[in-house]
Structure 1
Amino acid sequence: MGELSAIPGLAGLWRLTTGDGRITVAVVDGAVDTGHPALAGADITRVQGAGAAADVTGEKKAHGTAVAGVLFGRHDGPVPGVAPGCRGVSVPAFCDRRPRTSQLDLARAVEAAADAGAHVINISGGQLAAAEEAEDVLSRAIRRCVEGNVLVVAAAGNDGCLCDHVPAALPGVLAVGACDDAGRPLPSSNWGRDSSRHGLLAPGHEVPVAAPGGGVTRLSGTSLAAPIVSGVAALLLSLQLHRGARPDPLAVGRVLLETADPCDLGEAEACTRYLTGKLNITKAVKAVTTNPIDAPTGASGQELVVLSSDVPSPLAGHGQPRCDCAPTPVGALATAPTSASPSVSAPSVSAQSMSAQSVFAQPVGHSVGLSAPVDAPALTPVATLAAPAPSPTTAGVTLSADDEGQPAPQRLIYALGTLGYDFGTEARRDTFKQLMPPVEVDGVSVPANPYDPRQMVAYLTENPSEARALIWTLNLDLTPIYAIEAVGGYAPGVYERLVEFLGRQLEAEDSETFVDRVSVPGRQPGRTTRLFSGQVVPTVEVDITRGLYGWSVTSLAHAVVDPCPPPRTSVAAGGGRDNDRDRISEAVADFLARIYYDLRNFGATSRDRALNFAATNAVQARETLSQALGRGMALQNIDVEKSPYARPDSDCWDVKLRFFDPENGRRAKRVYRFTIDVKDVMPVSIGEVRSWPEN
């Protein structure tokens, strides 16, 4: 391809703008070497992601630097970038010291990028998986970007097969495949069913990139095509600003899809690799500068319907490549997507021409690793274009010395999960093993096992000061998401409570004191903690015992049922007080399960903290659940939306529970709403529960 200026239409776009500093592009990748000459003077801010900065010569940092150079390289430097005038945000999510990065960590990085004000998020990495295999936390993070009008651009992958990569395959993401300078798809570029619905091809052959040590090399792959599309989107947003319009990232994403050139290869079978078309910068610029862009669905609304899956995708594509060629042979159709939307024969800038699909993918109930940036091995000049074996490269997360001295702004956290502990190093583990007393097993004294939580609880109960030497973790489905660190004058009380809850997690589930969930209120100071496994997790500082609660679904359900008014069903109707209590308990358990599993989150955003607080204590939702369940209604969904009325200097959110009558579909639904202020580290409920019928 040579220089980026050779991309058709890009030089003309540069004559209009090289970017506006008010437009932000986030690079979720390896860490970026901002000291590279190509990035000298670039406005790039680093925020805390799942990974940490590695050595400059590390493969993942080299990959992140290459991507950043394609985006922000100064035009008088060694590697001119697409949008050097835009602001950059680096969110490290991959690192060499850890072999795999989880979808959970990628979701955390996406949320961090959105919180940093990104208009466009570039992800030149992924996992070889279909959209339905995406974990719910990642699907939810992408959906929140859609609802917040943030454009996510992701590489389609370099496996050379009819296969998808997550997150590129997820609805609402603009997937990008790679083509050569003649517009032909690279043999290594994926053309999966899902990404073909909302993806396009962009140049990705021998792109000049910043290399470790200050040099320049050329690389090929979808990892380089993605930032070219991200940069073009940023320039189009800059044009919107210059014309006095509000930047509309999702609408720009639609324009890029709709103005893409149809396949012109003359072979229908070859066109199956074309996604929906090939990037046409000139048409996209004309569409932005001469035609109004409709606001994308969900871009301006505040409401988050967190249990619904029927929200249209603003980036729903055409399903099959637009092809100016002969009909596809029957044999070729066997590998083409079969659930496509009707194809569109010509580019259009009308949002109404786009087909709709669900923003949410159906999650699976297991954890899978996320590959490295999809073409991370190609960090040397590319000699051939042979398709690599379809096995994803692994990536990693690490913590290095240059994290010190770069604290991120503190964020309030109110997270739910289960407790765990970690040693960090073998030396720390062996220290506990030597200090803990031996145990008797069948009359034989054996050395202590520090991995046995029962032995650890017994030891910490006798030696409470030793609790500070452990790394306490908050886990989601056995995966650590935070390291808990007690600080301040109440630190001993915090550790005492952690030891208590850890012991209560070991009790029988029918015990009155059994704990299967804890809530952790605290602040995230921007530091990270490295666990014994090598995983790096954000640190949460806890300086109060208030809000550090432990409970079980059973105990919380009992707390709700006890004050319930007599339900409308009577003994004469075949029920009874005990039966009614059981029914209400089951309904409460269902309510809690939805929050714990369907809506599990990091507790870092305001809406998530409000949602988690609603599930923390029976006091918060007791009146709502008691009234609705007492009326014989069942919970339909949960909404969280910004409260239109709030106290000065507050952060208030309305939690709305919508109920329906399962026995009478004609009966009006009923909405219950209560408000939570999450301005402080400990959220608080405001006012009374309000209720109204809804058709």
Structure 2
Amino acid sequence: MVSVSGSEFHQELLFAFGGGDRNIIVAVLDGAVDRTHDCFVGAPLTPLDTAVMQRSGEDAPPSAQGTHLASLIFGQPCRSVEGIAPLCRGLIAPIFSEDRPLCAQADLADAMTRALDHGAQVILIGAGSFEQPWYPDRMLARVITRCNAGNVLIITIPGRHGCSTLLRSCGAANLLSVGALDGAGHLLEDLDDNSVELGIAAPGESVSGAALEGRVVQRSNPNVAAALVAGAAALLLSVQRSAGLSVNPAAVAEAIRMTATPQGTTVGSASLATWTGRKSLEAAAAYLTGRYEGIYASSLFEAWYRARAGATRSDHAAFRPRA
């Protein structure tokens, strides 16, 4: 059984493959992000004017959840929160707002369309309340067809707070549902009735990320695990580019599934397929490229960082070079 905390998983993935590639684009569909947080200084983020933002207005407050998720991927080196793909470009496409936490299918389709228009290769959809019934309207079905045609990877969570059931009913071909494990290897949410939706599980307990008003907090939920896997997917797309391969999100999704390790905890009658840390990422990179070479997995900055991994966060914030 896996015994890895979410914070350990997060730290294991930091600075892998040099932090990603500016040509890789990840869209975060959740709430608005507080881009004034220090961790986003220098981050290549683009806010999108979704239908939700148009209704909420320019003065709409940022979301604590959206800010936390974005920081796990795009938090810059040497800041209060460090993301696992800080060099990749991010699109912030709000689908939830403080005055309307329910995401309508039309709003989801609008945000996904805008993300595709801006070149998103990975779309992370946060947890929340989604409009029912669980059959798609034509607008959402069309955007999923476009995702399939463009080979875009969609990452979300299974269960009642995710939209994986809805997206599967739309025919999403490249969909990865991510469950979250606690430190003992048990799912944070009961998925007995939704085991078919679970693609992989990853540690998602007590992971530090950005909060409103410049704070840093720990969160434990499937959203956290999904964000870390989305960042890892961005890193693997970067590996494809560095290896001279075509960027292929579907191949990345397959590599993530194929390198997940069955664990003792079960969902229904099946053992969980789990990512536990750096070795999972390295195995997926080897699966994609057909070989493993140390140059894929490290950079000078990372080697320097790893040599001081025993220091406290406050210590290495003081002596690490500015990116």
TM-score range, shorter chain: 0.7 to 0.9
**Is 1:68 aligned with 2:76?**
no
Aligned partners of 2:16 and 2:84 also within 8 Å? no
**Which residue pairs with 1:32 in the alignment?**
33
Unaligned ranges ≥5, structure 1: 294-695
Corresponding residue SS for 1:202? strand
- 1:3 positional shift: 7.0
Q: Are residues 258 and 189 of structure 1, via their aligned partners in 2, closer, same or farther at CA, if it must alter by over 3 Å?
A: same
**Which residue pairs with 1:113 in the alignment?**
115
- 1:31 positional shift: 1.1
- The 10-residue stretch of structure 1 (106-115 or 47-56) with the greater mean CA deviation from structure 2: 47-56
**Aligned counterpart for 1:92 among listed residues 76, 90, 94:** 94
**Which residue pairs with 1:278 in the alignment?**
274
- Amino acid paired to 2:251: A
Corresponding residue SS for 1:218? strand
- 1:76 positional shift: 1.1
Aligned partners of 1:262 and 1:278 also within 8 Å? yes
Q: Hey, what's the Cα distance between the residues in 1 that align with 2:233 and 2:81?
A: 19
Corresponding residue SS for 1:263? strand
Aligned partners of 1:209 and 1:217 also within 8 Å? yes
Moved runs in structure 1, 4+ residues, more than 6 A?
A: 53-57, 128-131
Indicate the percent of aligned positions where both proteins have the same amino acid. 34
Aligned partners of 1:67 and 1:209 also within 8 Å? yes
**Which residue pairs with 1:262 in the alignment?**
262
1:649-660 pair list within 5 angstroms: none
Q: Are residues 120 and 165 of structure 1, via their aligned partners in 2, closer, same or farther at CA, if it must alter by over 3 Å?
A: same
Q: Are residues 31 and 194 of structure 1, via their aligned partners in 2, closer, same or farther at CA, if it must alter by over 3 Å?
A: same
**Aligned counterpart for 2:285 among listed residues 285, 288, 311:** 288
**Which residue pairs with 2:200 in the alignment?**
200
> 1:121-145: CA deviations, max 9, x gaps?
1101355689962334223312311
Corresponding residue SS for 1:69? helix
Aligned partners of 2:125 and 2:156 also within 8 Å? yes
- 1:276 positional shift: 5.5
**Which residue pairs with 2:318 in the alignment?**
none
Corresponding residue SS for 2:188? coil
**Is 1:241 aligned with 2:252?**
no
- Amino acid paired to 1:72: F
**Aligned counterpart for 2:154 among listed residues 152, 160, 174:** 152
Q: Hey, what's the Cα distance between the residues in 1 that align with 2:63 and 2:166?
A: 21
- 1:154 positional shift: 1.0
**Aligned counterpart for 2:126 among listed residues 110, 124, 135:** 124
Q: Hey, what's the Cα distance between the residues in 2 that align with 1:201 and 1:127?
A: 21
- 1:158 positional shift: 6.0
Unaligned ranges ≥5, structure 2: 291-323
Q: Are residues 193 and 184 of structure 1, via their aligned partners in 2, closer, same or farther at CA, if it must alter by over 3 Å?
A: closer
What TM-score results when the alignment is normalised by the length of structure 1?
A: 0.37
Aligned partners of 2:178 and 2:202 also within 8 Å? yes
- Amino acid paired to 1:185: L
- Amino acid paired to 1:210: A
- Amino acid paired to 1:76: C
Aligned partners of 2:157 and 2:222 also within 8 Å? yes
- Amino acid paired to 1:35: T
- Amino acid paired to 2:188: L
- Amino acid paired to 1:103: Q
> 1:89-133: CA deviations, max 9, x gaps?
111221112353311110111111011011111101355689962
Corresponding residue SS for 2:237? helix
- Amino acid paired to 1:106: L
Q: Hey, what's the Cα distance between the residues in 1 that align with 2:243 and 2:32?
A: 34
**Is 1:79 aligned with 2:99?**
no
Q: Hey, what's the Cα distance between the residues in 1 that align with 2:16 and 2:164?
A: 36
What TM-score results when the alignment is normalised by the length of structure 2?
A: 0.76
- Amino acid paired to 1:90: I
Corresponding residue SS for 1:208? strand
Q: Calculate the aligned-residue CA RMSD, in Å.
A: 3.1
Q: Hey, what's the Cα distance between the residues in 1 that align with 2:86 and 2:185?
A: 25
Q: Are residues 153 and 273 of structure 1, via their aligned partners in 2, closer, same or farther at CA, if it must alter by over 3 Å?
A: farther
- Amino acid paired to 1:10: E
- Amino acid paired to 1:289: A
Q: Hey, what's the Cα distance between the residues in 2 that align with 1:218 and 1:189?
A: 23
Q: Hey, what's the Cα distance between the residues in 2 that align with 1:96 and 1:273?
A: 39
Q: Hey, what's the Cα distance between the residues in 1 that align with 2:236 and 2:67?
A: 23
Aligned partners of 1:191 and 1:275 also within 8 Å? no
Q: Are residues 190 and 49 of structure 1, via their aligned partners in 2, closer, same or farther at CA, if it must alter by over 3 Å?
A: farther
**Which residue pairs with 1:20 in the alignment?**
21
Aligned partners of 2:104 and 2:131 also within 8 Å? no
Corresponding residue SS for 2:238? helix
**Which residue pairs with 1:231 in the alignment?**
231
Q: Are residues 215 and 143 of structure 1, via their aligned partners in 2, closer, same or farther at CA, if it must alter by over 3 Å?
A: same
Aligned partners of 1:201 and 1:275 also within 8 Å? no
Q: Hey, what's the Cα distance between the residues in 2 that align with 1:159 and 1:15?
A: 30
Aligned partners of 1:191 and 1:273 also within 8 Å? no
**Is 1:253 aligned with 2:247?**
no
1:617-656 pair list within 5 angstroms: none
> 1:561-610: CA deviations, max 9, x gaps?
xxxxxxxxxxxxxxxxxxxxxxxxxxxxxxxxxxxxxxxxxxxxxxxxxx
Corresponding residue SS for 1:139? helix
Corresponding residue SS for 2:178? strand
Higher-RCO chain (CA-CA 8 Å, sequence separation at least 6): 2
Q: Hey, what's the Cα distance between the residues in 2 that align with 1:276 and 1:115?
A: 35
